[in-house]
Amino acid sequence: MTHALIVFAHPCSESLSSTLHKVVVEALTARGWTIDDLDLYAENFSPVLTERERRGYHQEPTNIEPVRAYVERLRAAEALILVFPVWNFGYPAILKGFFDRVFLPGVSFKLIDGKVRPNLQNIKKLAAVTTYGGTRLRALMAGDPPRRLVKRHLRYVCHQSAVMNYLALYDMNRAVTEDHKRFISKVKASMQTF
């Protein structure tokens, strides 16, 4: 049985992201996985890295104190699944703040002789479920930062053999109900075999 931390970042309950979040939770629960469902907005997560946190950023192990509960949830997980919309070719601010405040030295990485070494050895599965307003071409022309950050940076700090899945619906600005349904089915099928 796998234990997953699902990190959800969208403020609106009627959004497609909210539907995708529910699909992910239901599909993994149906497989017998245990779920820690972290809804950043519902939990009022503060994305602001304070001056005090920044000054103590490299002071392990006390650097985790302001976000200890979130660090413990991340360390307890074997799978990390992110569900978020892409806004302005990036993460929603609340999700970026989660990475800034929780993915700390000694948590997601270790600094050894000035070099970053992966430290989330407990994460053996990593997935992102996301939507983009623009087309794939437009995202590529901008470098598609969320895709690159998940597939390169986040993947790097996880276990070296971690399974990775990036599921994206592009061109939401022109998507119709059928596009949504197809993507929801794709996400459900992916989570059933992830």
Q: What's residue 140's pLDDT?
A: 92
CB 89 within 8 A of CB 145: yes
Cα distance between residue 94 and residue 108, in whole Å: 18
What is the tens place of the pLDDT at every residue in 58-113? 999 999 999 999 999 999 999 999 999 999 999 999 999 999 999 999 999 999 99
Residue 1: pLDDT band by 50, 70, 90 thresholds? confident
pTM of the model: 0.95
Number of independent structural domains in the chain: 1
pLDDT confidence band for 114 (50 / 70 / 90): confident
CATH number of the domain encompassing residue 106? 3.40.50.360
Angle at 53 between CA 146 and CA 107, to 5 degrees: 60
- pLDDT digit string, tens, across residues 18-69: 999 999 999 999 999 999 999 999 999 999 999 999 999 999 999 999 999 9
In degrees and rounded to multiples of 5, residue 79 shows phi and psi of -135, 145
- pLDDT tens sequence across 127-150: 999 999 999 999 999 999 999 999
Residue numbers of the domain that contains 152: 3-193
Reduced to 3 states, what is the DSSP secondary structure of residue 63? helix
